[in-house]
């Protein structure tokens, strides 16, 4: 492999092996690479929604503290390399290629009886190799799917585990009930781990407390740090315990809670109030209520499950202009529940498809009675008197973002 394209082609070739729960292949890979996952202080983040935003707030706080912060997140919105970053800068091509060569060689020595390494396992291996080479002060790993059997879950002693939220998503793999899904997320909590939990459903609070108690893991609820907040069309302001009112870099009431996760974690790590406040202001996360145009007002939001749509709807209530929506909801998501909520904001909802294996086709949408359009047609009829929101899937808004930038 010599270029990023070679790396992406190799990773893509592994997609055929799908999702395989279990840590045996990951542990074998790290053993071949001679990497100790606990050698660098690690913060592990799981949850249905809010993981990426929590990581963004925490990263900026760490940078403001003068630290070198590595992050591993998914999916990407702008470029593949943003999945593996140091202080918000994506991995360089030379480093990506070097990591891929090392990981590919390690995979060839793994016992075939363990099964073929998946695309996400290989990608996780790239992150571990890169961070092992550059040795940042902290690495923040975002769980890919679930937690217990996720390929990132190889740490024995993370410095903190954050559970951002629990909701209905990926039920085919994680389970149908909130309790089943929650147990998968709780799987990142290890013996003696400091745990920070976001706003969870009431029926999950006792199970989490019991799970932590069994592992002698201290638990802090991040919402206890929230003093007050206010939402306006122009932004979101929040006051936290010991932190004066600050305009958040990310908008919406859900971001107040995501930021609180980061505030509690940063405090536990001994970071300064000044760094925490700067991180709250500076956090940026593409595709999370991202305003890509002001005249007309165009917003991209990656809400892709009912809980994510709930948060988006709450924020859209602050919009002063009528809202028009463009959605592409993947085939394995609860389209009915998501659209029901969106209709509480506006009747002007258009649906479309895009080039993605799980995307609903135009034919399927027409059969379901959708108001179908194309991305090109949608962006060809804009008015400064309305607010336009694109949502339904992180993968979809990534494609729309590219389309809009080229169009400009």
Sheet containing strand 138-142, edge to edge, reads 89-90, 84-86, 69-72, 138-142, 42-46, 160-163, 195-197, 219-221
pLDDT of residue 175: 66
Angle between helices 24-33 and 119-134 (to 10 degrees): 30
pLDDT of residue 7: 98
Say which DSSP state 225 is in: G
pLDDT of residue 171: 60
**SS3 of 220, please?**
strand
Q: How does DSSP classify residue 117?
A: P
- The whole-number pLDDT of residue 163 equals 98
Cα of first residue to Cα of last residue in the chain, in angstroms, is 34
Q: Look at residue 19 in the predicted model and tell me its pLDDT.
A: 75
CA distance 360 to 270: 47
Q: How many residues does the chain have?
A: 408
Give, in degrees to the nearest 5, the angle at Cα 265 between 259 and 267.
Answer: 105
Distance CA 342, CA 318 (A): 14
Show Cβ contacts of residue 85 under 8 Å, excluding neighbours closer than 6 positions. Answer: 70, 71, 73, 91
Q: What is the pLDDT of residue 66?
A: 99
- The Cα–Cα gap between 46 and 225 comes to 20
Cis peptide before 189 (omega within 30 of 0): no
Cis peptide before 374 (omega within 30 of 0): no
- Tokens representing 96 are 């990506």
φ/ψ (deg, to 5) at 214: -65, -25
The CA distance from 91 to 129, in Å, is 12
Average pLDDT over all residues of the chain = 95
* pTM to 2 decimal places: 0.93
Reading the chain (408 residues) residue by residue, the pLDDT tens digits are 999 999 999 999 998 777 777 899 999 999 999 999 999 999 999 999 999 999 999 999 999 999 999 999 999 999 999 999 999 999 999 999 999 999 999 999 999 999 999 999 999 999 999 999 999 999 999 999 889 999 999 999 999 999 999 987 656 556 668 889 999 999 999 999 999 999 999 999 999 999 999 999 999 999 999 999 999 989 999 999 999 999 999 999 999 999 999 999 999 999 999 999 999 999 999 999 999 999 999 999 999 999 899 999 999 999 999 999 999 999 999 999 999 999 999 999 999 999 999 999 999 999 999 999 999 999 998 999 999 999 999 999 999 999 998 886
Domains, the chain, ordered by start: 4-282 (3.40.1190.10), 290-407 (3.90.190.20)
């Amino acid at each position: 492999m010599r270029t990023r394209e070679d790396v992406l082609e190799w990773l893509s070739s592994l997609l055929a092996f799908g999702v395989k729960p279990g840590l045996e292949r990951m542990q074998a890979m790290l053993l071949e690479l001679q990497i100790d996952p606990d050698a660098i202080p690690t913060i592990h983040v799981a949850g249905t929604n809010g993981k990426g935003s929590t990581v963004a707030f925490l990263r900026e706080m760490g940078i403001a503290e003068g630290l070198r912060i590595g992050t591993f997140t998914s999916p990407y919105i702008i470029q593949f390399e943003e999945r593996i970053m140091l202080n918000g800068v994506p991995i360089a091509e030379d480093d990506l290629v070097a990591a891929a060569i090392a990981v590919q060689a390690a995979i060839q020595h793994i016992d075939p009886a363990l099964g073929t390494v998946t695309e996400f396992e290989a990608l996780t291996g790239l992150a571990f190799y890169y961070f092992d080479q550059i040795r940042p002060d902290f690495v923040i790993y975002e769980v890919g799917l679930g937690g217990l059997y996720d390929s990132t879950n190889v740490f024995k002693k993370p410095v903190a585990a954050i559970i951002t939220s629990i909701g209905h998503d990926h039920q085919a793999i994680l389970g149908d009930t909130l309790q089943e899904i929650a147990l998968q997320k709780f799987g990142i909590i290890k013996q003696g781990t400091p745990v920070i939990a976001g706003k969870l459903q009431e029926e999950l609070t006792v199970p989490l407390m019991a799970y932590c108690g069994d592992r002698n893991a201290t638990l802090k609820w991040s919402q206890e740090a929230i003093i007050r907040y206010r939402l306006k069309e122009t932004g979101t302001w929040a006051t936290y315990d010991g932190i004066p009112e600050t305009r958040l870099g990310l908008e919406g009431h859900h971001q107040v809670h995501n930021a609180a996760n980061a505030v509690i974690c940063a405090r536990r790590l001994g970071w300064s109030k000044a760094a925490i406040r700067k991180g709250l202001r500076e956090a940026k996360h593409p595709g999370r209520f991202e305003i890509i145009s002001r005249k007309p007002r165009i917003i991209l939001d990656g809400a892709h499950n009912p809980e994510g749509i709930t948060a988006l709807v709450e924020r859209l209530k602050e919009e002063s202009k009528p809202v028009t929506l463009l959605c592409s909801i993947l085939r394995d998501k609860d389209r009915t529940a998501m659209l029901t909520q969106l209709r509480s904001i506006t009747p002007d909802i258009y649906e479309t498809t895009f080039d993605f294996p799980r995307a609903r086709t135009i034919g399927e949408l027409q059969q379901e009675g959708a108001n179908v359009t194309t991305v090109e047609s949608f962006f060809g009829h804009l008015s400064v008197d309305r607010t336009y929101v694109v949502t339904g899937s992180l993968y979809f808004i990534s494609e729309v973002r590219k389309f809009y930038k080229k169009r400009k």
